[in-house]
Amino acid sequence: MKLDARIPSGPIEKKWEKCRFDMKLVNPANKRKFSVIVVGTGLAGGSAAATMGELGYNVKAFCFQDSPRRAHSIAAQGGINAAKNYQNDGDSIYRLFYDTVKGGDFRAREANVYRLAEISVNIIDQCVAQGVPFAREYGGLLANRSFGGAQVSRTFYARGQTGQQLLLGCYQALERQVQAGRVTMYARHEMLELIVIGGKARGIVTRNLVTGKIESHIADAVVLATGGYGNVFYLSTNAKGSNTTAIWRAHRKGALFANPCFTQIHPTCIPVSGDYQSKLTLMSESLRNDGRIWVPVQKGDKRKPSQIPEGERDYYLERRYPSFGNLVPRDVASRAAKGACDEGRGVGETGLGVYLDFGDAIRRLGKGVVAERYGNLFEMYERITGEDPYTVPMRIFPAIHYTMGGLWVDYRLMSTIPGLFVIGEANFSDHGANRLGASALMQGLADGYFVLPYTIGDYLANTKLDMVDASHAEARQAEADANGQVKKLLGIGGKRTVDSFHREMGKMMWDECGMSRNAKGLEKAIGRIAELEQEFWKNVTVTGAGEELNQSLEKAGRLADFFELAQLMCRDAKERNESCGGHFREEFQTPEGEAMRNDDDYCYAAAWEYKGPGKKHELHREALSFEYVHLAQRSYK
């Protein structure tokens, strides 16, 4: 299989314009003759569905929550980047592009990243027009803050609830189209299969989560906007329902899966407190603007933080990376925290934590200013830990947060299955091996508002689509497969709960395919996960019936797909004999312990092809070339 990314020719700043000009348009009157399915109504899917509705397409949108307003995007806290240069601090589209390529450790496609930076400015305009209440200065203009991996202030935010406000803007635009009759919304529906007819994506099979009814939906194109798969680790900052099922099922039908092992570990999360723990809570990266990270100089120092004098504290990020200090990118900050804990200098009961201290900021700015900037995050911290971060430094530890990997897409966001588009966190496109803070929201909205609605039009205008309906043999087969899986899961009648399996697999993934990896450990994990998967299919217990709301059944189906994905992630991590971004292979590091890339052999996106149940995946490579941002070791010193 030859991977063609369809990157337009010409200089980078003209590529998107050229692409838009070259694309065929669908005449307005014809748009209503086309139907599009959008699975997922987070920032990516919601914005895409709303915009395509506005353009006149017939859109069917799906989400598993009870309302599109609850997609996981709602939880994003810190902000969204845009190259507005409102602060006059030297920002530009080119700089945002440069920072993102470098932040991604040179494993993203330059052309995509440039387009993202270019579109970033339109997103802010659109969102403000919708009424998103971004933070403002006293003069009434928009405020900005800084995020990791950048030396300019380009992050727009709405207190600590930026994702919420952006998603509500997008949800409201979507509901406007629902009212207008252009979008039909199917909440509490889960996609279980993709329908491929004549080599093209033509529909999906869903389960109505209230009645259990399994049915097919047919359309002219399918868009997956189903978010990330961080929950493969069980504990992550993702919402509990976030899953891989939609993209994994599409993968099994022929869509290549790219860079599955590129996972982002966020440095500032609340540490784990017990084995009943169901998720990890992020403390926004924006806190690193004013908070200082430290551990005691002495190993095993059990004194209270207030009793440790200044001279016996190691502000290790400021020491090791003087120019970026506490604002180094996430992968660097996470590894440094792990390093400090591995040396026995971690804090808190478990020793798996470092301090994030606001003492200086409060002295410098006053409690009021700190409260205005981070008040709701401080409250959340106190609610969970029972400690007051105004007086006691926060304890934080890295946690799984985001997945850069996802279905492979070309420049036009189409997967290797014609007619199947993938947007938002579900695709692999823009962040390379490490995503910079505040750029997922930007990517989701760029894809959904400004890229996909164009590129899908070109596909529809250029493609001959046969008339098909749900009685087609492929649709029936996909339905039968979905039904079969439900029956199988309900019929096992074993002894272990779904969650107990998920926890066990998640722990293996965290230990062997988490913050640092090595070939031996990965090999071991692949074997053990396969064994656990086998046990799952013999010994899981799923109570209740298929024809009703059944949350254990939902979880079991998702876990079944996570098992397969986990093995591919380990294989991908093992195959990549280098360290880059969030992928840190212990065998490949510089003498100072920094990630060591191998551009001669691994400057590519790894795109995996499914070859059938129990068969080994086949690796395809999309070579990456860097014409603008020259390959160099990242330095944040």
Ligand X SMILES: Cc1cc2nc3c(=O)[nH]c(=O)nc-3n(C[C@H](O)[C@H](O)[C@H](O)COP(=O)(O)OP(=O)(O)OC[C@H]3O[C@@H](n4cnc5c(N)ncnc54)[C@H](O)[C@@H]3O)c2cc1C
Residue numbers annotated as active site? 330
- Compute the CA torsion angle 408, 255, 530, 404 (nearest 10 deg): 20
Window 55-74: residues binding ligand X (CB under 6 A): 62-65, 71-73
Residues 139-168 that bind other proteins (CB under 8 A): 139-142, 158-159, 161, 164-165, 168
CA 105 to chain centre: 17
H helix intervals, 3-140: 15-22, 28-31, 43-55, 93-103, 110-130
- The burial class, CB within 10 Å (0-12 / 13-18 / 19+), for 497 is middle
Tell which positions 131-160 bind ligand X, by CB under 6 A.
Answer: none
Q: Is 190 in the site for ligand X (CB under 6 A)?
A: yes
45 binds ligand X (CB under 6 A): yes
User: Segment contacting ligand X (CB under 6 A): 210-218, 304-312, 316-324, 436-444?
Assistant: 436-444
- Residues β-bridged to residue 208: 189
Interface with other proteins, residue 556, by CB under 8 A:
no
Q: Shortest distance, CB of residue 466 to ligand X, whole angstroms? A: 26
Written as six digits, the tokens of 379 are: 């409250």
Q: Which is nearer to other proteins, 123 or 433 (CB)?
A: 123
CB 148 within 8 A of CB 328: yes
How buried is 284 (Cβ within 10 angstroms: 0-12 exposed, 13-18 middle, 19+ buried)?
Answer: buried
Q: How far is the CB of 341 from other proteins (least distance, A)?
A: 20
308 part of the interface to ligand X, by CB under 6 A: no
The pair of structure tokens assigned to 429 is 């496109």
Q: Report the DSSP beta bridge partners of residue 556.
A: none
Q: Is 478 in the site for ligand X (CB under 6 A)?
A: no
Q: Name residues contacting ligand X, limited to 328-357 (CB under 6 A).
A: none
> What are the Cα distances from residue 35, in Å, to 24, 197, 271, 419, 465?
17, 15, 46, 12, 11
Q: Counting contacts by CB under 6 A, is residue 162 touching ligand X? A: yes
Query: Which one, 254 or 424, has the nearer CB to ligand X?
Result: 424
Q: Per residue, what are the HEC states of 57-82?
A: CEEEEECCCCCHHHCHHHHCCCCEEC
Query: What is the closest distance, in whole angstroms, from the C-beta atom of residue 161 to ligand X in the complex?
Result: 10
Is residue 268 near ligand X by the rule CB under 6 A? no
Q: How far is CA 464 from CA 200, 421, 456, 458, in A?
A: 10, 17, 14, 12
- Residue span binding other proteins (CB under 8 A) among the ranges 98-106, 234-242, 463-471, 614-622: 234-242
Distance, CA of 529 to CA of 232 (rounded, Å): 12
Return the DSSP state at 616.
P
Question: Closest approach of Cβ 125 to other proteins, in Å?
Answer: 4
* Contact pattern from residue 425 through residue 464 relative to other proteins, giving x for each residue in contact according to CB under 8 A and a dash for the rest: ------------------------xx--x-----------
> 402-431: which residues touch ligand X (CB under 6 A)?
402, 424-426
Q: Which does 497 bind (CB under 5 to 8 A by kind): other proteins, ligand X, none?
A: other proteins
Q: How far is the CB of 282 from ligand X (least distance, A)?
A: 4
Q: Which of 14, 25, 33, 67 binds other proteins (CB under 8 A)?
A: 67
Total binding residues toward other proteins, as defined by CB under 8 A: 80
Site for other proteins in 248-307 (CB under 8 A): 273-274, 276-279, 281-282
